[in-house]
Each structure stands twice: as C-alpha cells, then as structure tokens.
Chain A
C-alpha cells in the first residue's frame, strides 16, 4: 500500500473551483430555461449528413413518426402532443440522441448516424432578416 496519495479534497482551492463549476452550471441552467420556447409550433429542420447531404423542413407536428435513413441506418423522429420533438429510435451504437429526450429549443444531434434535428421558429427559418 502506498500512503503518499493525494486526498480527494485538499483545501479551500478545491471548494472554490467546485463552487465556480456549480455557478457555471446554474448559469447554463438559466440559459436553458431562457432558450425554451413555450410557444413552440413543432416546426423543425432535419439535416442528414450523408453523401449527398439531405435536408427536410417540417412546418409543424406530423401525425405519424417520420422515418429517415442516416449513415448507420434508419432513425425515427416523433412529435409529442405538446409539439415537442424527439428522436424515438436510431441505429447508432450509443443511443445518446434517443436518451436526450424531448426538446423544443435545443438541437438533437446523432453524431454516428449524421442526423441533426433543429427546432425552428415559425416557418422553418430561424432568421429575422436576410441582407445583401
């Protein structure tokens, strides 16, 4: 046994750093709530980053789940009764995208399958104006 081992928590620096992390997390949580759209219409843009890349625009919730095909295979996008969106199933190995659950604000991204689901505002465009 080696007794010359650093402790888990050493002193006030540790608590300062951990408190700073908690402060950042609270700020991030506030940002999350701020970014949540209570009047979300269910519109979204789905990008499939295959060769060639594909893009689909949905102006609102679809009655039936939509099946798309990504890099590793099929994935299903579903709208809930409150118009939120989720990736219901995906053929990716880690299922992080499925575990991310329902969203009305933040994008759902499946990296292995190359699928990006972006909630949009209004008619599928998230810009206020286009200038030249």
Chain B
C-alpha cells in the first residue's frame, strides 16, 4: 500500500520521465545543459591555474551528459552554443580565443561520439579523458594555423596529455553523479 507521499513522489518521477521522452522535454533539457555549460565556462575562466591548461573543464560534463542522456546532435548543440554564449559574456565572440574554445569543444563532442559508437561499452572515464585530450589537441591545431610559424608548439603536447588525464577523470565523476541524481 503506497502512502500519499510515495504516490506523489512516484507521480513526480513519472512526469519527469515523460518530460524527458517528449521532444519539448528534450529541447528544454538541452537548453538547461547549454545554459549550465556556458555558466561553468564563464566561472572557470578567471580561476587561477597552477599549470597552463590545468582547469577542470566542467562544461564538458554537460556535453558528455547530453551525449549519454539525449543524443550526439544534442551534445554537439551544447558544445557549439555554450562556447558562443560564454564568448559573448566574456567579450571574445568571434576572436581567436572563441575559435579555440569552439574548435576544442566541438572536437571533444565529436570524438566522444565516435568513441562511444566504436566502443559502446567504454566507461565514462575513457570517454571523458579522450574528449579532454582531443579538446587540447584541437586547440593546438588552431594555434598552429593562426599563430605559429614553426612546429615547436607541439612540444607542449606532453604536458597537455598529463593535464587532460586528471581533468577528464573529474569531468567523468561529475557526469556520473549528474546521471545518477537525475531521472
């Protein structure tokens, strides 16, 4: 026999489930993820870093969540829109900084999608670390084409890989908690 409170909780869960399956619900969830990711990117930007490129990249958790809970196109939408909105807030829209951010975020979304297709059983940590690494790699490609006149910029790749590992693991754990705590 269900108490009234349990019945109410069950109904709320069912409503949330229905909301998630409808196209309006999916659109609303995508919008929430875009807004959250843009806010995280703006908040993270001025934080001090002990090593270059060392930041958690929590905005990528929203992309990974969208990929797992919604679809690849939703993940790509989150990546494209959050970089544009964050750049708008930080006054860097269409600047090289925005282009780097855009290239990194979309490459990470695409690479995580491809990895998930190739290895459906891949764990969250692998997806996330791979995404973080491709993000850094894509940013180096942009810097190479826009600024560098020789290939010495690629010597930074070793450090970038080591930085991608902890940040990828943090993003994976955050995504796992988000998935666990949402219907």
Contacts and interface: CB of A to CB of B under 8 A. Distances in A.
B11 interface: no
A94 B126 CA distance: 28
A9 B155 contact: no
Contacts, number: 132
Given A25-B161, A112-B92, A8 B176 contact: yes
Interface residues of B, number: 52
Given A17-B130, A109-B147, A96 B123 contact: no
Contacts of B129: 18, 21
Max chain B Cβ within 10 angstroms of own Cβ: one of A9, A47, A94, A118:
A94
Nearest to B161: A25
B181 to A, nearest CB: 7
Interface of A: 1-3, 5-11, 13-14, 17-18, 21, 24-25, 28-29, 31-32, 35, 47, 49, 93-97, 99-101, 105-107, 109, 111-112, 114, 116, 118-119, 126
Contacts of B165: 21
A125 B163 CA distance: 32
Contact of A109 (B122, B143, B164): B143
